[in-house]
Structure 1
Amino acid sequence: MKALADFVFEAGMLKKMVRTGYAFLGGGRETVAEHSFRAALIGYWLALEQPGLDAARVALMLLHHDLAEARTGDLNYVNKRYCQADEAKALDHATRRLAPALAGRVRELVEEFNAGQSPEAQLAHDADQIDFMVELKEQWDQGNPNAERWLFYALKRIRTQAGRQLAEAVLEAKWSDWWFEDREELWVRNGDRQPR
């Protein structure tokens, strides 16, 4: 259990690890854990809509895909032109003291995600990008002109039909639509459900 406790603390580093690409965007901030959480939800929900896909596996891949960044840090696209993180080595070091079944399962999920061959891994890759696109769309809606250009390239990375459909819906929506839908109820009657 000591090794598992250490691994839990290590995973917690992702709550503190800031994703570095936002500096180039000129705005926004997100931790690796925040990204992984919503990406896992996106992947799970998309997979539920696809007959024959293992939705739990998609979500688990996304929850684990950036674990190595607790040791390597987050390298953005510019950083990766000059630096190469040995994520396989970092993941091996992170899991080597764990029970073999647990270590094997963690490595298996990350390796499947990285290989990108299975339908679940392809959908997981799309969910990873769609989460990024949601952040970019929020930035764009709030006036960051750089976000539009980034969205164009993020959309090109989408592989699946389901992923493309959701990505296009994200592009068409405004980031605030979800909470501004019931304008009268919320903004005039202040949530009061009593008829006036």
Structure 2
Amino acid sequence: MDRIAEFLFEAMLLKRIHRTGYQFLGPGKESVAEHTFGVLCIAWTLAELSPHAKKGRLLAMCLFHDLPEARMGDLNAVQKQYVAANEKLAVEHMARGLPFGSDIQELIDEFNARETLEARLANDADQLAFLLDLKSLSDMGYAAPEKWAGHVKARLKTDAGISLAQSIEETEWDSWWLKIFIDSSGGLQ
């Protein structure tokens, strides 16, 4: 049980590791754990839109997709031009001694291979989480996110992911809040 407790402490470290790409977007920032929560919500939604997807497997894959960053940190695209992280070794060491370690390794390998429906949906969920953040910042008046959105959308591989991206693009980030405000106050005054 001690090894499992150590694993859980390590996983919780993701709350303190910040995603490094956000430094190029102005005010945006989030921890890896915050990102993972968003990816899980999106993956659940994509599974509902994709009836052939194995929802449990998809969610487990999303839960662990960035777990190696507890050991490696989060490297953005520029940093990856100069620093080579050994994710495979990080996952191997992280999984060592865990009764479910091989399951974690398998899920991360499947995510990275992008060959199964669940892996493609998980990768789309990962990109859509970023797209939602970009759209929110853009709607608040920041210009930098608009430069990145097209590149993020180009990475989407599933029909459900592409369709959801279109809806995100057409929806203002605070429309849900405004609808509640209008309904509760009888209209804007």
Aligned to 2:88: 88
Aligned to 2:18: 18
Asked if the contact 1:45–1:55 (Cα under 8 Å) also holds between the matched residues in 2, the reply is: no
Cα distance between partner residues in 1 of 2:84 and 2:184: 49
Q: TM-score scaled to structure 1, two decimals?
A: 0.92
Summarize deviations over 1:13-71 as a string: whole Å, max 9, x none.
Answer: 10110000011122211000111111011112111221221011111111100000000
Deviation at 1:188, TM superposition (A): 5.6
Q: Say which SS state the counterpart of residue 70 (structure 1) adopts.
A: helix
Cα distance between partner residues in 1 of 2:185 and 2:76: 40
Summarize deviations over 1:166-185 as a string: whole Å, max 9, x none.
Answer: 01111111111121112333
Cα distance between partner residues in 2 of 1:187 and 1:80: 50
Task: Please give the residue correspondences for 1:53-68 in structure 2 after superposition, counting only pairs within 5 Å.
Answer: 53-68=53-68
Q: Say which SS state the counterpart of residue 30 (structure 2) adopts.
A: coil
Runs of 4+ in 1 over 6 A off after TM superposition: none
Aligned to 1:136: 134
Aligned to 1:124: 122
Letter in 2 for 1:16: R
Q: Say which SS state the counterpart of residue 181 (structure 1) adopts.
A: helix
Aligned to 2:97: 97
Cα distance between partner residues in 1 of 2:81 and 2:165: 26
Letter in 2 for 1:178: W
Q: Which runs of 5+ in 2 are unaligned?
A: none
Aligned residues: 187
Q: Which runs of 5+ in 1 are unaligned?
A: 190-196
Summarize deviations over 1:86-133 as a string: whole Å, max 9, x none.
Answer: 11111111110212xx00111111010011000110011101000000
Q: Say which SS state the counterpart of residue 27 (structure 1) adopts.
A: coil
Cα distance between partner residues in 2 of 1:28 and 1:52: 35
Task: Please give the residue correspondences for 1:1-196 in structure 2 after superposition, counting only pairs within 5 Å.
Answer: 1-99=1-99, 102-187=100-185
Letter in 1 for 2:53: L
Q: TM-score scaled to structure 2, two decimals?
A: 0.95
Cα distance between partner residues in 2 of 1:183 and 1:166: 25
Cα distance between partner residues in 2 of 1:8 and 1:25: 31
Larger Rg: 1
Q: For structure 1, which segment, 56-65 or 3-12, has the greater mean C-alpha deviation from structure 2 after superposition?
A: 56-65
Structural RMSD (CA): 1.3
Cα distance between partner residues in 2 of 1:6 and 1:115: 28
Cα distance between partner residues in 2 of 1:28 and 1:161: 28
